Structure 1
Amino acid sequence: MGLSIEEQKAVDRFRQAVAEPSMTQLVVLDFWAEWCGPCKALAPVLEKVCADYADKGVVLAKLDVDQEPFIAAQFQVRSIPTVYAVFQGQPVADLTNARSESQLRAVLDQLLAKLPVQPGSAPVPDLAPLLAMGEEVLAAGEAERAQSIFAQILEMDPDSAAAVAGLARALLAAGQVEEAGAVLDPLDPKLAADPLIAQARAALALAKDRPADNELAALRAAAAADPADMEAQLAFANAAFAAGEREPAAETLLRMIAADRAWNEGAARAKLLQIFEAVGLEDPWVAATRRKLATILFG
């Protein structure tokens, strides 16, 4: 009563992400912020333990105090990280001081022994914040932590194409190509048809070309020694992207297209489009590189 429109929206988001799941499950509610170093240090502990306890009815909810100041104020959050256990809409324990895995597990075991938590019976919470966090962590180069986040999401929603694709891309970023293939290969046809899965498969196909460091150095040297050697340029572009050097790979392919767009039935352009699909057409880098391609093709 008496809430502004923005405050009511904040309450609705909280109800969907925390209050409703907590009716039957134990929600670990983490108040954090992007600028908070201790929050980032605690996050992997919370993510791992909550993922391990998912089959016992424990779920993790993240609340950015900068994005949700009204909710943070209702919980009287004065410093971060602040972590509560929430059950049936009410805080039942302050977990803030449980900073290690063993401490957090001990507290959760005590709570689960007392509370009528019902594993798996709650509606799937809003996973968008966790998915966004996983993408941010992956973009920051923290591949192992991203794996943990996407794996936790899959515990809550095994049919999340975004989480499957995110886990596969996190594995690829960590150089675990076979493991990424194992994630993508056994999918049912409906899930496999999702565009995000197609993007991850494209990234997997390119990652399989990943060379050893000395091989990449040799390919780089060969391409630099003879810019007119299209085979050498393409070989380097393939290897460079597979090794995570997408900018050199794209610039090499763009130079090839500018020099001879028809070479080898348009192989350079085809490879560049494959890279676009692997990275994602909505990615800002892809958008910028596509503009460079359009300038070459159309002037």
Structure 2
Amino acid sequence: MSNPPLPGNFAGAMDLSALVNRAKAAQAPASPAAPTTPAGASSYVRDINESEMGQIVELSNTVPVILEIYGQGVTPQLGGLIEKYQGKLLLATLNADHAPQLVQALQIQGIPTVFAVIQGRPAPLFQGQAQEAEITPVLDEVLKVAAQVGVTGVLPAPENSDHDTPEAPTEPPLSPEHQRAFDALSANDWDGAEAAYRDALAKAPADTDAQAGLAQVGLLKRLGNQSADTIRAEAAKDPGNLDAQLLVADLDVSGGHLDDAFTRLLGIFTTLDTDGRETLRTRMLDYFAIAGPTHPSVIAARQRLTSLLY
């Protein structure tokens, strides 16, 4: 199996809640029924579809979620192992063939692929088939990282009827602008979502959720349906092309690799003219909004950018 190091801080990863809008996914009247438990599985394992991802994202604030992307003739493999954790982990299995939007957003390159989702943010764990002895240390590390951010819930045992499955915390209703953004995102209408977030910011310029949502929608629009290999090949072929370098940085941010994106862009800053520097600065501000101002990588990159500007 191929497994990148598990990040100690999930804040650098794309926030899935901005795509599925976790509050409305749990509250909208037209939302689908709760994720089902497939036959032969327990309450620790749920087979979901793309429209149900919002509920799983919300549960990731309570218990760490392992997201197993399968399909193309490959079936889920982690159910038995997750059972051994006795509710400390929730396994959500998702058929990639039926989830094109998430496959694109997560930049999935092969099947099966496994992610951890903690507080709405995914981080890749490994790709390909693996033995239990290889997977167990990875899952143990997920629990350690989750504990560091206070995600320590435990799902009830299947036979325990005295307790309910942890429910998503109730959040206030969305503003009309955020509701419009949610509806547009649900329809894959990036332009509509972008317009709604801009309207929200016109009313409340300090709305950090709208700032992050606008930045993430812009990133998704720029990436479009382009493959990661094509994006990287174009940038490697023309290192002096700012647009190509910015697109690779978009790709890195979408996969949670903030440091790679910041290193790439800050490394070419001094080679750019005034207009190019302003374009780069604006893009980095978008990345700062996506990751959040307290992320260590954002703090370091902001300091370096400031020193280059002044």
Greater relative contact order, per chain length (Cα 8 Å cut-off, separation 6+): 2
TM-score, length-normalised on structure 2? 0.38
Q: Higher helix share goes to which structure?
A: 1
- The structure number with the bigger radius of gyration is 1
